[in-house]
Structure 1
Amino acid sequence: MKRLILIVPVLLAFCTFSCKKYIQQQEQNAATAAITNGLWYVSDYKQNGSDITTAFSGYLFKFDPNSTVTAFTTSITVTGQWSDNIIARTVTANFPGAGAPLVYLNETWKITDSYTDSVAANCTDTVNHTTNILQLKKQ
């Protein structure tokens, strides 16, 4: 009987931990599937209140499950990396060596709203001391 009393809490703790990990993994899988399915474009970008959305005109973004993101226009292709953290509700992008406008995306973005076809996020650039607001939409 004493063994059973000791085993039950351990099993409950294990099950709770396992269930939570399973749910987190399913959320991660669903988010990755939504992000990597289709092409995205910048529908809104504000830097310190100034609308610079037109700087991204013609760019499309393809997020791959291997953490690669490709930005391209009819004449330019730039490859970078991306990662997400579902628990923290963040997405990080990095286009090494990229110039404007792609360099403006090299941040960890806090997701403020998301759907299967759009994502809104913001960040504060600690280097340039700018507040940035980004919205991506699926094409």
Structure 2
Amino acid sequence: MVGCLALLSTSCKKAIEKKVQDLVMDAITHGEWIVEQYFEGTNNLSSQFLDYRFKFNEDGTLTGTANSSSTDGTWKPNVTDYTITADFPTAVDPLKKLNGLWKIKDSDWDYVKAEMQTTDGTRLLILRKK
């Protein structure tokens, strides 16, 4: 009986984790996002991203668009570790500033606050859904 309960508990936990992951993916992949704030240490570089809109796709692709110019990249969420890895391999500034592993510090359905540790210090990114 205990073995059955343990198996059921593990199965339920995996089902719940899958449902949470599906909800997170749905929230991220529906709609466009903007960079509301971007800091490198105490330097506020948010204005560099004013014209950008970002679209996260379920297949792991990501597009950053400013005016009529788009740059393609990839993204990979890790729901367990509360991280997102972003990569715009051909990007120049400011998009290449988003490349790397971001630790999610706070989030809701319409915003994400994340930090990245680099050799130069901490980067802070706040995305807002449009």
The separation in 2 between residues aligned to 1:27 and 1:16, in whole angstroms, is 16
In structure 2, the residue matched to 1:64 is 57
User: Secondary structure, in 3 states, of the residue corresponding to 1:104?
Assistant: helix
4+ long deviations beyond 3 Å: none
Which residue, 21, 33, 48 being the options, matches 1:28?
A: 21
Contact 1:93 1:105 in 2 (8 A): yes
The separation in 2 between residues aligned to 1:15 and 1:115, in whole angstroms, is 30
- Specify the code of the residue in structure 2 equivalent to 1:39: E
Instruction: Spell out, residue by residue over 1:101-137, the C-alpha distance to the aligned partner (whole angstroms, 9 max, x if none).
Output: 11111111111110111110101124xx231000000
- Specify the code of the residue in structure 2 equivalent to 1:41: I
Task: Work out whether 1:133 is the aligned partner of 2:124.
Answer: yes
User: Secondary structure, in 3 states, of the residue corresponding to 1:65?
Assistant: coil
The total of aligned residue pairs comes to 130
User: Secondary structure, in 3 states, of the residue corresponding to 2:91?
Assistant: coil
Instruction: Spell out, residue by residue over 1:18-48, the C-alpha distance to the aligned partner (whole angstroms, 9 max, x if none).
Output: 1110010001000000000100000000001
Task: Work out whether 1:53 is the aligned partner of 2:46.
Answer: yes
- Specify the code of the residue in structure 1 equivalent to 2:126: Q
Instruction: Spell out, residue by residue over 1:69-124, the C-alpha distance to the aligned partner (whole angstroms, 9 max, x if none).
Output: 10001131001001111111111101002111111111111111101111101011
Gaps in structure 1 of 5+ consecutive residues: 1-7
Task: Give the structure-1-normalised TM-score.
Answer: 0.90
User: Secondary structure, in 3 states, of the residue corresponding to 2:62?
Assistant: strand
User: Secondary structure, in 3 states, of the residue corresponding to 1:26?
Assistant: helix
User: Secondary structure, in 3 states, of the residue corresponding to 2:22?
Assistant: helix
The separation in 1 between residues aligned to 2:84 and 2:67, in whole angstroms, is 26
The separation in 1 between residues aligned to 2:11 and 2:62, in whole angstroms, is 31
- Measured on the aligned residues, the alpha-carbon RMSD in Å equals 0.9
Gaps in structure 2 of 5+ consecutive residues: none
In structure 1, the residue matched to 2:35 is 42
The separation in 2 between residues aligned to 1:97 and 1:10, in whole angstroms, is 52
Q: Find the structure with the greater CA-based Rg.
A: 1
